[in-house]
Amino acid sequence: MTIYPIKSICCIGAGYVGGPTMAVIADRCPHIEVTVVDLNEERIAAWNDSDLNQLPVYEPGLDDVVARARGRNLYFSTAVDESIASADMVFISVNTPTKKKGVGAGQASDLRWVEACARQVAQWAKGHTVVVEKSTLPVRTAAAIKAILDTAKSKSDNAEPLSTFSVLSNPEFLAEGTAIRDLEQPDRVLIGGNDKDAIEALATIYSHWVPNRKILRTKLWSSELSKLTANAFLAQRISSINSVAALCEATGADVREVALAIGTDSRIGPKFLDAGPGFGGSCFQKDILNLVYLSRHFGLSEVASYWEQVVELNNWQQNRISALLVQRLFGTVTGKRLAILGFAFKANTNDTRESPAIRISLDLLEEGAQLAIHDPKVASTQIALALGKAPSSSSSEIKGEGSWCFATTVAEALQGADAVLILTEWDEYLTLDWSSLAGLMRAPAWVFDTRSVVNPVEISEAGLIMWRLGEGSD
């Protein structure tokens, strides 16, 4: 029994992290009332939609979890103030993008929404409230949140009991596409804080489905820094293998063989060794840049440069792919039709934030190509937003230089194309019938596979020319 029994939770931010995380907590803890609030009315309406295909986040298994808990003890609402007032525990799960201007622009995290949330919590919370940082934050943000929350005390008059707060850091390690599995069977849950009772209150919630040995309790600053460090290490592995992929192409080695050979060393391990078009997603780049900014701030310029290189290599990898494609297509793609297969930053998500497909597509549009873009889960409107450019009305209408259209099927994308560029490893692309698709393309036609999803033998039997990332020729 903890001294802060939690009967009601409010989570501010119904995004990729807040929505699925709270759905799983509500599912596993039917005795706790969980309300997820967001300023965005459309998003909340989508979370409440009776058609579970309309949920704003696509995650395998999420619909089942929401179906079980929604309306029972899981609610989605725009009533932020009321929900804070009735909560024993408030999670802050709003976005923290990289700052675009001002001090730290391009590297530091923009904390304006976190600060706004803290002020709102300070104003509306009643009694003792445990405030949990779910958003990934720079180290020592908890101190700033606590300072804002403590202003609530001074405002209380004698008529109202004092509002008091404990602040915890509980970073989320879920990966998109596997969010439900990651939440239900986490490698670990990390809780950082100074108030042992508050830590136990949160640990008790997780203990309904996570073994106690997997619940790590740390200092606040260790917890905040661990999240940035975990993402930096993962991203570093990808930049490392991508750097080796380029070396494989130059030397006649094969990156898949190298990855297998090094990954079987138990000290290295097999995960996160897939070479690809570069990492995307809302976290890796943002968190490394944040680490770089923090390091510089503390005068550790060598540390900053070390991590900065991981992002630089990632940018280089993306530019390298578009440049290489242009070079193979006889030095020009102007007016040529290219099929892009996959726009999401990875398979099994509809998220396109920082997707390598964005930079690569923009490079190719700049070169004057006509792109026919296909993705099984990303809508045309979202691609238009990411590219900052409206599509042609239909894929047969696409004309001129530097234009794009949305293709609803792979065959439609390939119609009349000089090349196919595979950028996301969707299952659907593993089983394409190249013998029939090849006939739709203009010869000599190319397949550029950045995700190792196609079988090179099938490609050459279909009469297509193959380029695979990380594969050199003898």
Q: How many other CB atoms are found less than 10 A from the CB of residue 277?
A: 27
Give, for 216, the enclosing helix (H) or strand (E).
strand 215-218
93 contributes a contact to ligand UDX by CB under 6 A = yes
283 contributes a contact to ligand UDX by CB under 6 A = yes
Among 30, 39, 184, 263, binds ligand UDX (CB under 6 A): 39
State yes or no: is 377 an active-site residue.
Answer: no
State yes or no: is 117 an active-site residue.
Answer: no
Task: Fill in the per-residue mask, 335 to 364: x = in contact with ligand UDX (CB under 6 A), - = not in contact.
Answer: ----------xx------------------
Residues 2-21 that bind ligand UDX (CB under 6 A): 12-18
Kindly tell me which of 279 and 404 has the beta carbon lying closer to ligand UDX.
279
281 contributes a contact to ligand UDX by CB under 6 A = yes
Determine the Cα–Cα distance for residues 356 and 352; give it in Å rounded to an integer: 9
Q: How near is the Cβ of 323 to ligand UDX at its closest, in Å?
A: 19
For 314-330, b/e burial (b = at least 16 CB within 10 A) is beebbebbbebbbeebe
| Region binding ligand UDX by CB under 6 A among candidate stretches 34-42, 159-167, 247-255, 291-299 | 34-42
Among 274, 308, 375, 449, binds ligand UDX (CB under 6 A): 274
Give the list of residues 6+ apart from residue 323 with CB closer than 8 angstroms, or none.
363
Give the list of residues 6+ apart from residue 286 with CB closer than 8 angstroms, or none.
96, 97, 98, 109, 136, 354
12: phi then psi, degrees, rounded to nearest 5: -95, 115
Catalytic residue among 33, 172, 200, 367: 172
Residues 122-141 that bind ligand UDX (CB under 6 A): 135-136
Residue carrying the six token digits 């596997």: 178
The partner residues of 218 in beta bridges, in order of sequence, read: 192
Q: Which residue is nearest to ligand UDX (CB)?
A: 15
Give the list of residues 6+ apart from residue 418 with CB closer than 8 angstroms, or none.
329, 333, 336, 337, 338, 441, 442, 445, 446
State yes or no: is 283 an active-site residue.
Answer: yes
Q: How many other CB atoms are found less than 10 A from the CB of residue 147?
A: 12
Catalytic residue among 99, 227, 286, 336: 227
Positions annotated as catalytic residues are 172, 227, 283
The residue ranges that bind ligand UDX (CB under 6 A) are 12-18, 38-40, 43, 93-96, 113, 116-117, 135-136, 172-176, 231, 234, 238, 272-274, 276, 279-284, 345-346
